């Protein structure tokens, strides 16, 4: 059962696959402390579950490699990853965005310190420490990530504290004054501080919501309600600029979505270096016209850029390596051939847009 669960975990994302390895490391070292190097039924059970989990990791690799999202992978063709890797090892807080940027050195102290709280159960300490370094290295040399990626390791750390909690409490309340006890007590305090920082960041978000600031993370659900309320849009085809605006819509409405850069229907965007990188408002309008002709359906265009606020012919960066521009003539022609049916207020993420209906 544990092997199956870890196999499934490995197929959620790469950071989780790293956690699978560190979970297995913890389990193995824990068993070896009990049985030494003798082969026992417990080790047989571990080997079977580890095999199942490893199959999950292999499936993860076969699924994602070679990745079609190669634009999201860091490019080291013109430089060396050695220095970033070294910085990640000594300053993981700079690559695991669990803190505001100015706190990264202090954050690294808390991250390293939090692993020391598990010293009373050495296999857990080794697994937590290895997971911290591997996660930071991955985000430094392979692909950058956000809080949700770093929080995978944080969740692993919390799980280890939960598993080892009785040992930690026994150590903290013990009468012996050993160096392991002193260091692990300091590590447990660092873990509590780490949790305190995360709680403070969460409370800041809640406070902003209570004050009415950035209360909506995404306008996708609002768009779903808008389209569902209008029978004339029930079979509309939706395009987005940039395309990734249409990715969440399948959760709210059944309308087809079209990806302009990839020239296909779909709602999973590929960030490829070999794909179409540059586009402009003229192409958005031309493709929308062709969709209207071929499908004989209304066409809705989602525009992240506010056309009355952007600078003519300025190159705007989108996603990882995409660019977009709009000339004065293209803006005039676009506005002449479309009707804006809703301008949504800004959101806490980039999922807000103006909604146009092609005439």
Residue 194 sits in the same domain as residue 265: no
Token digits of residue 295 = 């499908």
Residue 267 sits in the same domain as residue 320: yes
Residue 55 sits in the same domain as residue 102: yes
Residue 195 sits in the same domain as residue 242: no
What's residue 103's pLDDT? 81
With a CB cutoff of 8 Å and minimum separation 6, the contacts of 204 are none
Residue 232 lies in a domain: yes
What's residue 175's pLDDT? 61
The residue segments making up the domain with residue 339 are 220-358
Per-residue pLDDT tens over the stretch 229-242: 999 999 999 999 99
Per the structure, the count of domains in the chain is: 2
What's residue 176's pLDDT? 62
Residue 109 sits in the same domain as residue 181: yes
Q: Which residue, chain included where needed, has tokens 């590929």?
A: 270
Residue 11 sits in the same domain as residue 158: yes
Domain boundary among 191, 210, 229: 210
What's residue 303's pLDDT? 96
With a CB cutoff of 8 Å and minimum separation 6, the contacts of 48 are 3
Domain boundary among 192, 210, 228: 210
Residue 239 sits in the same domain as residue 185: no
Residue 312 sits in the same domain as residue 186: no
Q: Report the C-alpha gap between 353 and 350 in whole angstroms.
A: 8
| CA terminus-to-terminus distance, the chain | 57
Domain boundary among 210, 234, 256: 210
Closest CA to 107 of 190, 185, 183: 190
Residue 136 sits in the same domain as residue 172: yes
With a CB cutoff of 8 Å and minimum separation 6, the contacts of 170 are 120
Residue 215 lies in a domain: no
59: three-class secondary structure by DSSP: helix
Q: Which residue, chain included where needed, has tokens 């039924």?
A: 41
What's residue 242's pLDDT? 94
pTM more than 0.85? no
Residue 69 sits in the same domain as residue 197: yes
Residue 189 lies in a domain: yes
Q: State the DSSP string of 267-305.
A: S-----TTS--EEEHHHHHHHHHHHHHHH-S-EEEEESS
Residue 196 sits in the same domain as residue 330: no
Percentage, residues of the chain above pLDDT 90: 64
Taking only Cα atoms into account, the Rg of the chain, rounded to an integer number of angstroms, comes to 25
Per-residue pLDDT tens over the stretch 327-353: 999 999 999 999 999 999 888 788 899
Residue 240 sits in the same domain as residue 334: yes
What's residue 71's pLDDT? 80
pLDDT tens, per residue, the chain with 359 residues:
999 999 999 999 999 999 999 999 999 999 998 887 788 888 999 999 999 999 999 999 998 888 877 788 887 878 888 998 998 899 998 888 888 877 888 899 999 999 999 998 999 999 999 999 999 999 998 887 788 889 999 999 999 999 999 888 887 776 666 777 888 889 999 999 999 999 998 898 788 777 766 568 899 999 999 999 999 999 999 999 999 999 999 999 999 999 999 999 999 998 888 888 999 999 999 999 999 999 999 999 999 999 999 999 999 999 888 999 999 999 999 999 999 999 998 887 888 999 999 99
What's residue 214's pLDDT? 56
Residue 157 lies in a domain: yes
């Amino acid at each position: 059962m544990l092997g199956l669960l870890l196999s499934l975990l490995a197929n959620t994302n790469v950071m989780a696959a790293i956690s699978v390895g560190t979970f297995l490391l913890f389990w193995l070292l824990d068993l070896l402390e009990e049985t030494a190097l003798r082969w026992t039924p417990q080790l047989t059970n571990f080997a079977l579950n580890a095999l199942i989990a490893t199959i999950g990791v292999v499936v993860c690799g076969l699924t994602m490699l070679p990745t079609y999202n190669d634009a999201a992978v860091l490019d080291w063709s013109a430089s060396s990853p050695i220095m970033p890797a070294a910085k990640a090892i000594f300053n993981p807080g700079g690559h695991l965005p669990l803190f505001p940027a100015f706190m990264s050195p202090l954050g690294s102290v808390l991250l390293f310190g939090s692993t020391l709280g598990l010293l009373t159960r050495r296999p857990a300490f080794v697994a937590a420490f290895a997971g911290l370094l591997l996660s930071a290295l991955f985000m430094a040399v392979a692909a950058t990530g956000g809080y949700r990626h770093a929080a995978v390791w944080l969740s692993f750390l919390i799980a280890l504290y939960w598993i080892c909690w009785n040992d930690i409490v026994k150590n903290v309340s013990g009468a012996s004054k050993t160096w392991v006890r002193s260091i692990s007590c300091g590590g447990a305090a660092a873990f509590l501080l780490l949790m305190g920082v995360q709680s403070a960041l969460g409370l800041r978000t809640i406070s902003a919501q209570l004050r009415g600031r950035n209360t909506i993370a995404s306008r996708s659900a609002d768009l779903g309600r808008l389209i569902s309320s209008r029978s004339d849009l029930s079979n509309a085809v939706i395009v987005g600029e940039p395309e990734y605006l249409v990715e969440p819509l399948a959760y709210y409405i059944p309308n087809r979505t079209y990806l302009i850069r990839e020239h296909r229907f779909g709602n999973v965007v590929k960030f490829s270096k070999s794909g179409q990188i540059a586009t402009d408002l003229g192409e958005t309008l031309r493709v929308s016209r062709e969709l209207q002709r071929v499908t004989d359906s209304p066409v809705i265009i989602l525009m992240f850029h506010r056309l009355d606020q952007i600078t003519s012919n300025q190159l705007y960066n989108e996603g990882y390596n995409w660019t977009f521009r709009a000339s004065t003539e293209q803006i005039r022609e676009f506005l002449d051939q479309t009707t804006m049916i809703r301008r949504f207020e800004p959101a806490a993420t980039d999922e807000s847009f103006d909604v146009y209906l092609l005439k």
